[in-house]
């Protein structure tokens, strides 16, 4: 109780002292109360910044290819990957993590179909080393994860370890659609991916292929020619 009273006195004193040069301006009790609350609120923000503690309560990221989050990380939802069909020449280029319990819109008439499921294309030619070859032409799963007490999330291509001061969430391989198809983003797919279900069918849609490096404009060394591309997701 005494500490609370002392804090109020100090805050009020600072506000009044900071305004000692003010002329023809009298602070009412309500004005002083408002300024004091503003000072305390601002001080808390500045204290958080000065100590290096994150203001945000956490960060979210998509764990591509998995039905769950790393140990100790909260799962927001799990679902299936969707995206634009590989033959479409326009429209969206990013993959989406679609929840299993959608709130569907109204029926429409039109020919702008863009949201398809996604399949692994994991035959011997396009499978990153170490990944399960039984995933070929199975649908891709995903999970949205919430990591508390973090303020930043970073996917690093070409690495399987995080830089100093960062916490590893998961490692994997960079995957995307085939270079001859419509453009898609580069996604960091977990090194031990899972299928959405046991259904196997060549239904296509948005596709996931392993990708390789190509030396030239990409400097080798330090990179190597025609190797799979590792990736890691880190938080801080």
Whether residue 221 has a cis bond before it, omega within 30° of 0 = yes
The full set of domain ranges for the chain reads 58-102+113-235
Of the candidates 207, 139, 210, the one whose C-alpha atom is nearest the C-alpha of residue 174 is 210
Q: Which helix (H) or strand (E) holds 59?
A: strand 58-64
Beta-bridged to residue 232, according to DSSP, are 156, 171
Q: Structure tokens of 151?
A: 């303020």
Cβ neighbours, 10 Å, residue 73: 21
pLDDT number for residue 211 = 92
Tokens at 20, concatenated = 């000692």
So what's the pLDDT on residue 160? 95
| 153 Cβ neighbours under 8 A, 6+ residues apart | 59, 60, 61, 147, 169, 233, 234, 235
- 70: confidence class by pLDDT, cuts 50, 70, 90: very high
pLDDT at site 41: 47
For residue 84, what are the β-bridge partners?
A: none
* Residue 108 banded pLDDT, cuts 50, 70, 90: confident
11: pLDDT strictly greater than 50: no
Which tokens belong to 109?
């008439």
Nearest to 183 by CA among 95, 106, 112: 95
Burial per residue of 5-35, b for 16 or more beta-carbon CB atoms within 10 angstroms, e otherwise: eeeeeebbeebeeeeeeeeeeeeeeeeeeeb
pLDDT category, 43, cuts 50, 70, 90? Answer: very low
Entry pTM: 0.73
Mean of pLDDT values over 155-168: 96
Nearest of 78, 123, 115 to residue 97 by alpha carbon? 78
């Amino acid at each position: 109780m005494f500490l609370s009273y002392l804090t109020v006195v100090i805050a009020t004193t600072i506000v009044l002292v900071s305004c000692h040069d003010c002329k023809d301006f009298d602070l009412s009790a309500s004005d002083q109360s408002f300024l004091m609350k503003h000072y305390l609120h601002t001080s808390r923000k500045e204290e958080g910044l000065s100590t290096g503690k994150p203001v945000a309560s956490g960060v979210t990221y998509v764990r591509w290819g998995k039905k769950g989050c790393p140990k100790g990380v909260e799962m927001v939802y799990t679902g299936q990957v969707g995206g634009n069909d590989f033959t479409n020449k326009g429209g969206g280029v990013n993959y989406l993590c679609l929840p299993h319990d959608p709130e569907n819109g109204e029926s429409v008439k039109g020919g702008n179909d863009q949201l398809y499921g996604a399949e692994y294309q994991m035959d011997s030619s396009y499978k990153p080393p170490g990944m399960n070859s039984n995933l070929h032409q199975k649908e891709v799963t995903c999970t949205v994860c919430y990591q508390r007490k973090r303020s930043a999330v970073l996917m690093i291509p070409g690495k399987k370890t995080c830089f100093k001061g960062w916490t590893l969430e998961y490692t994997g391989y960079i995957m995307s659609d085939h270079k001859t198809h419509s453009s898609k983003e580069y996604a960091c797919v977990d090194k031990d991916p899972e299928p959405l279900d046991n259904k196997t069918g060549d239904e296509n849609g948005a596709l996931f292929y392993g990708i390789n490096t190509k030396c030239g404009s990409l400097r080798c060394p330090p990179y190597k020619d025609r190797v799979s591309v590792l990736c890691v997701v880190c938080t801080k």
